Amino acid sequence: MGKIVMDIERCKGCGYCVSVCPQKLININNTYNRKGFPVASFKPEKDDDCKACKLCAEICPDVVIEVYK
């Protein structure tokens, strides 16, 4: 249903998106951006896992996340 696209170069690894995702599809991993911050990643197991609720995009202080249906 939904898809999340993240601009990892703007991500600061704050984890707000991780805390609000009701499906637990976002996590902070061991990948770092050019500024040295650990970045969030979107890892659905199935295509319909994400419900496109947009909570992650709304809470992100750096406008890193775009949500598509």
Q: Are 48 and 69 in contact (CB under 8 A)?
A: no
Average pLDDT, the chain: 94
Domain boundaries, the chain: 3-68
CATH fold, domain 3-68, is Alpha-Beta Plaits (3.30.70)
As a whole number, mean pLDDT of residues 47-61 equals 95
According to the model, what pLDDT value does residue 32 have?
97
Quick one: which H or E segment has residue 16?
helix 16-20
8-23 pLDDT, tens digit per residue, is 999 999 999 999 999 9
Look up the pTM and report it. Answer: 0.90
